[in-house]
Amino acid sequence: MVRYSFLVIKNLHGSAIITIKQLRASPLLSKGVCMKKIFTLTFLLLVTPVLLHAQTGVKKRRPLPFEYGRVLISTPNLSPDLPDVQFDHWLHRAKYTCRLCHVDIGFAMKRNATGIKAEDNIKGYYCGTCHNGKMPHGDRAIFKACEKTYTEIELGSRCRRCHSVGEKVRAEYDFASFTGTFPRERFGNGIDWEKTEEAGLVKLVDFIEGISFKRRQIEVPKDFELSTKVESMPEILFSHKKHSKWSGCEGCHPEIFAGVKKGNTKYSMTEIFEGRYCGQCHTTVAFPTTDCQRCHSKPVR
């Protein structure tokens, strides 16, 4: 009797490697069991590649400008009154830098990876850092995020402002009227956020008393070129200045790009498309990777 053992490994790019090994004959196996095994093996061999290649070759639906950067945060342990939280990046990024939330407050960059709890918000962490009913914003205070108990009225007027997935909630800020005067760009939110900031249409807060700490500023490194693997593909001009305005240094270093020295971190376009390295922000919140020439901008010499 011949026995086979096979191993299915999924590599980084999602394709499967199947290794089949012939094992030594085992006298313990009866004929029937063996036939069954061969049958399941053939079946599995045919079916596994199909299952592993669930990725389909269709054009993804492009999110509408106001949907781009939307994060749905699941809240599985709450009462059915409180559905999942819908967080739209565009409103917050028009007021605060990325660094403030993702470094100082400590939100992870991946959906649901932070594990935000109501208790933490009440204690003044995460959303509760600003959403505490006291933090001034213009001439009023920012509404309180979570409380131990809530009334029926509060549920509609306060809780549902965030816990809004599947509920009919009228948002306080309308995307079209809020961003109407901002310079336009292709894809993403349809907004050139960089120019919007330069023109002073948005003023970004980068410091919260008691949460942020001022250090002596590190001089922003010069812009540099990133060479490409494909011949005559225009090189990438990377601007530290543009990125550090929103993300600071800590937004990217050392977690996403380990090496502070150029060339230390090796990555490919495939990995970026998968949402790693540049793709961490540039597939979700910052302008998407479908806008090739916005990065590949330096003419080939």
Partner 1 sequence: MKRQAAVLSALFLLLPAAAPGNWDFPPPKPVEEYGNLLIHRTSEKNNVKSVSFSHWMHRRKHTCRVCHFELEFNMKTNTTEITEEANRSGRYCGACHDGRTLFGHTEPHCGKCHNGDIGYGNLRFNDMWRYPVTKYGNRIDWSAALEEKWVSPARYLTTPPLPDEVNERKLDLDAAWINVPPSLFPHRKHTAWLDCNDCHPNIFNIKKKTTRIEMVKILKGEYCGLCHGSVAFPLTDCKRCHPTMRTPPKYPEPQSR
- Specify burial of residue 191 (Cβ count, 10 A radius: 0-12, 13-18, 19+): buried
Please choose, out of 18-26, 28-36, 111-119, 255-263, the segment that lies near partner 1 by the rule CB under 8 A.
28-36
Task: Give the whole-angstrom CA distance, residue 249 versus residue 164.
Answer: 34
296 binds partner 1 (CB under 8 A): yes
Binding residue for partner 1, selected from 18, 20, 23, 64, defined by CB under 8 A? 64
Contact 267, 276 (CB under 8 A): yes
Please give the structure tokens belonging to residue 164: 């809004």
- Considering beta carbons, is residue 77 or 293 the nearer one to partner 1? 293
Letter string b/e over residues 130-167, b meaning 16 or more CB atoms within 10 A of that residue's CB: bbbeeeeeeeeebbbbbeeebeeeeeeebbbbbbbeee
Please choose, out of 58-66, 139-147, 166-174, 258-266, the segment that lies near partner 1 by the rule CB under 8 A.
58-66
Binding residue for partner 1, selected from 31, 168, 222, 266, defined by CB under 8 A? 31
Residue window 143-182: x/- pattern of binding to partner 1, with contact defined by CB under 8 A:
----------------------------------------
10 binds partner 1 (CB under 8 A): no
232 binds partner 1 (CB under 8 A): yes
Please choose, out of 10-18, 164-172, 197-205, 215-223, the segment that lies near partner 1 by the rule CB under 8 A.
10-18
DSSP 257-297: S--SSTTSS---HHHHHTT-TTHHHHTTTSSPTT-HHHHEE
63 binds partner 1 (CB under 8 A): no
30 binds partner 1 (CB under 8 A): no
**What stretches of the chain show up as alpha helix (H) in DSSP?**
31-52, 89-93, 98-99, 118-122, 152-157, 175-179, 193-198, 240-247, 269-273, 279-282, 292-295
Binding residue for partner 1, selected from 2, 5, 15, 254, defined by CB under 8 A? 15
> Residue 269 Cβ, how far from partner 1 at the closest point, in Å?
6
Binding site for partner 1 (CB under 8 A): 13-15, 31-32, 35-36, 38-39, 42-43, 46, 49, 53, 55-62, 64, 186-187, 230-234, 268-270, 273, 289-293, 296, 300
